A and B are shown apart, each in its own frame.
Chain A
Amino acid sequence: GQSLEQPSEVTAVEGAIVQINCTYQTSGFYGLSWYQQHDGGAPTFLSYNALDGLEETGRFSSFLSRSDSYGYLLLQELQMKDSASYFCAVSNFNKFYFGSGTKLNVKP
């Protein structure tokens, strides 16, 4: 089976840095991806890691350690518009399994 764990909620202030962790257990693994979902909307893709290390895309970075079955999403220079739910997902040969999501609250 597949299981992904991430914190249910995180609160941070505008301009700060926040890290959202994700640990996974899966019978097969191609990569770890991250999605953002605003209330009432559809998820949108943020980043993908297939190999160990850090991937940077603007204010967002994502890290993967395959040996530890662990990854994180790092959001820098937080803005109010970053308030949303963030999901990690593992891909396993055409199938994608999502975590239960982390609700990020950004306060002024």
Chain B
Amino acid sequence: SQTIHQWPATLVQPVGSPLSLECTVEGTSNPNLYWYRQAAGRGLQLLFYSVGIGQISSEVPQNLSASRPQDRQFILSSKKLLLSDSGFYLCAWNLGQDEQFFGPGTRLTVL
């Protein structure tokens, strides 16, 4: 069966510090991978998606970047965090246009 891992579960970082969040998927090959951010009480904002190794599409210009070094690994990074980067970061995967499978998420607080 397919599983998706994200770590860490929670993170508190100072403004201006770097960020690296990792997501890995097991049990599937060549999935589409996604990074979302959810502010408290809000919907999910699509940040990046990838249809293959090294292929990254950015939805929202910001100080975040993403990379896909391996088929089932997706990394979200920042060189310098802003207060507005706080939120619940969710990684997801799918194979088509219907169901997306979400990881457990990382709750990031930037102070």
Contact = CB atoms under 8 A, between A and B. Distances in A.
Interface of A: 4, 30-31, 33, 35, 41-45, 48, 50, 87, 89, 91, 93-101
Majority DSSP secondary structure for residues of A touching B:
strand
B42 A42 contact: no
Majority DSSP secondary structure for residues of B touching A:
strand
B103 A87 contact: no
B102 A94 contact: no
B97 interface: yes
A87 B44 contact: yes
Given A87-B43, A101-B43, A96 B101 contact: no
A36 to B, nearest CB: 11
A95 B43 contact: no
B73 interface: no
Contacts of A93: 97
Interface of B: 32, 34, 36, 42-46, 49, 51, 57, 59, 90, 97-105
5 contacts: A93-B97, A94-B51, A95-B49, A96-B100, A100-B42
B52 to A, nearest CB: 11
A33 B98 contact: yes
B43 A45 contact: no
Contacts of A44: 102
A42 B90 contact: yes
A100 to B, nearest CB: 4
Contact of B102 (A43, A95, A101): A43
Q: Determine which residue in A93, A95, A99, A100 has the highest number of CB atoms from chain B within 10 A of its CB, and name it.
A: A95
Contact of A94 (B36, B45, B49, B90): B49
